[in-house]
Amino acid sequence: MRWNTALLKKLAGCLFLTGGLLGCHGTAVLSETNTPYEFVVEDGTLEMKDGVHLAVTYYRPVAKKPGETFPVIMEKVPYRKDDFFTLGDYEYGAYFAKHGYVVARVDVRGTGGSGGPIPVSEYSQAEIADAEELVAQLSKKSWSNGNVGMYGISWSAFNSMMTAHRKPPALKAIIAAHGSTDLFYNDVHYIDGALHTDVYAHQIDTDNSMPQSPDYRIDATYFHNRFDREPWIFTWLRQQQDGDFWRQESLAFKTPLEVPVYLIGGLLDGYRDFAVDVSKTAKAPVMAEIGPWNHAWPEYGAPGPNYEWRAKALRWWDYWLKGKANGILDQPARMAFMRTGHAPATDLATVPGYWRCDQQWPVDGSTTRRLYPQTKRQLGNAPSTQGNAEKLRYRAGAGMAAGGWWGEQTGDMAADDAHSLVYDSAPLTEALEIMGMPQVRLRVAADAPFYQWTVRLEDVAPDGQVSLISGAAINPSQRFSRLKPEALIPGEPTTLSTAIHFTTWRFKPGHSIRLAVSNAQFPMIWPSPTPGTTTLFPGAETWIDLPVVPTQHETSPSCVLPAPEAGDPAPFGKELESHPPVFKSVRNEQTGDSTFTTASDIAWTLHGNTYRSAEQYQWDVNDKAPAKARFRGERRNVFTIAGREIDLLTVARIESDATTFHVTFTKTLRENGRLVRKKTWTDHIPRRYQ
């Protein structure tokens, strides 16, 4: 999971109320009432069955008439509601509270303001059991009407769906943005079954080690529950293959959801497939939409076009939690943004294209077009009959043009394609639109027991510029079974199959369709250890199937969306400065060295206190020694609270050789400049088909 701080927006009308509570008089025009609710913000705790107290912030409407009750919307994440996420949480809490909903924002046990030790990992049995208990308790509050919804982006999308699977009686509906149903194949630890070292792993291990809010006590309990806990990064690296650890809460291996769900995905988000997966299997009503943006909510995700998803969410909640017959289920149930082919760019504000609304996926009239890689770099309608083998030398540092995961905007893919086998169709004579998950099959061989393959679908413009459409990685050890991996037999041909991640795209006339096949996707996928050569066999067993849909030229009337609304900034704090992640890639073709770096920092104030966080990360590999890949991360949080400075620095290192991952993680805590505690964890973890 990747944590995501909501963008701050400005709206006048907020004020402090007595007793330390915060209130906000909204000024937006509301669809359900003529005037918005005033609301209060209250902090409290709820006790779980084992005695652990979970911290809750309530955004609670003020009743307009005696005895008035409200539905409850719960979000539960470990992202520290009292410091890191306070400003962003306020905006969403205020929005729904003004419309007559209690929002309950809860810190996962062992994190933020909640008690207990840090859980064993994400989505632990304790976490999901807590969610069930929270739903029950919230439904029984004096101000509750008994109906509860869960919602969230990323982590809270994951646990909303996991909790819904358990069907607590009071949970009537959920909203999930950027979630996953398959934690081994579609999360940030192993992308498509291949090891991915994401900055999130370092971020969460650092922030989980901060003292418990709001007192930030540094004492024996803090050390036992947080600082001295082994970082999760070790846990994830010890689980290099699919199995019970990953499947325990993965919905892909459970019975279908029976709780109504509104799904939101993004074409530039690594989790986008989940919206399709849940749509196919759910036994309750589903509303699903996939827009052009990254790991973000639709009203601010980049690139646009954006819209006010919260207006749709209110209609969803009104129907399921307030019992209002508003026709929400009569509108088209599936919506996706069809991207019109565009030049590669990393800074587009808006993508050209249109919205298409349908009742189902695949859409009516969909067909499949199969294309075959042929010799001479051609992609044709029939398999090659010449039987020539295509050799590819493995260059471990190739792949940086595609970025850190299958998401975000990318520039020209020429640098990656130079170290790939590429196959181009003839220039198209008419437009071709695709929507879905292209299927790929490759007949391959290798000179070592383990390599990795990646496939990328691209658009080649007449001027030679290459745009990435989507891609996927293949871990060949899982070609027969994800649960029982097998090494390749050097020199023996085998067949690999995968689905490219969900995408939409209109290929314009004059453009060509490109399939690029590579053995490296650095730094997205940890490099395989052996230098050498792989072979691709064009022919009847090597192809790509494109999900072709009928061409449409503009947004249909049923797809008209509300414009983004201004949000309420928290009246008790603000962002001071922010430098979003800057990515830099350097490759030396002469030496074979490749380096990918990213750095960011942010500072903000809350109630007169100051908070700062900065981080920097670097990945390195050399083509001649791919086994010796390296990752280094550094994150520092400095909180100055009532004149007291808490300074936590963490440094992580992962270095590999042919057989082992060597992992070191160091935490250093200072208070008012004085060293309080320093602790280092080290392990040497065997490589297992990664």
pLDDT by residue (tens digit) across 206-244?
999 999 999 999 999 999 999 999 999 999 999 999 999
Secondary structure class of 251 (helix, strand, coil): helix
pLDDT by residue (tens digit) across 342-367?
999 999 999 999 999 998 999 999 99
Answer for the pair 362, 335: CB distance below 8 angstroms, yes or no: no
66 Cβ partners below 8 Å, 6+ apart? none
pLDDT by residue (tens digit) across 457-478?
999 999 999 999 999 999 999 9
Average pLDDT (421-449) is 98
| pLDDT the model gives residue 232 | 98
- In the predicted structure, residue 303 carries a pLDDT above the cut 50: yes
Give the predicted TM-score (pTM) of the model.
0.94
**What whole-number distance in Å separates Cα of residue 486 and Cα of residue 345?**
39
pLDDT by residue (tens digit) across 239-284?
999 999 999 999 999 999 999 999 999 999 999 999 999 999 999 9
Answer for the pair 534, 392: CB distance below 8 angstroms, yes or no: yes
| pLDDT the model gives residue 227 | 98
pLDDT by residue (tens digit) across 364-385?
999 999 999 998 899 999 998 8
The amino acid at residue 649 is: L
pLDDT by residue (tens digit) across 485-498?
999 999 999 999 99
- In the predicted structure, residue 33 carries a pLDDT above the cut 50: no
| pLDDT the model gives residue 425 | 98
> Using 50, 70 and 90 to split pLDDT, how confident is the model at 119?
very high
| pLDDT the model gives residue 396 | 98
Q: Which two tokens stand for residue 628?
A: 């010796």
The amino acid at residue 408 is: E
Radius of gyration, CA atoms only, the chain: 25
> Using 50, 70 and 90 to split pLDDT, how confident is the model at 34?
low
| pLDDT the model gives residue 674 | 98
- In the predicted structure, residue 73 carries a pLDDT above the cut 80: yes
> Using 50, 70 and 90 to split pLDDT, how confident is the model at 6?
very low
* Signed CA dihedral, 132, 137, 140, 145: sign only: negative
Distance of CA 583 to the CA centre of its chain: 18
| pLDDT the model gives residue 105 | 98
pLDDT by residue (tens digit) across 381-417?
999 887 789 999 999 999 999 999 998 899 999 999 9
Range list of H helices, 33-85 = none
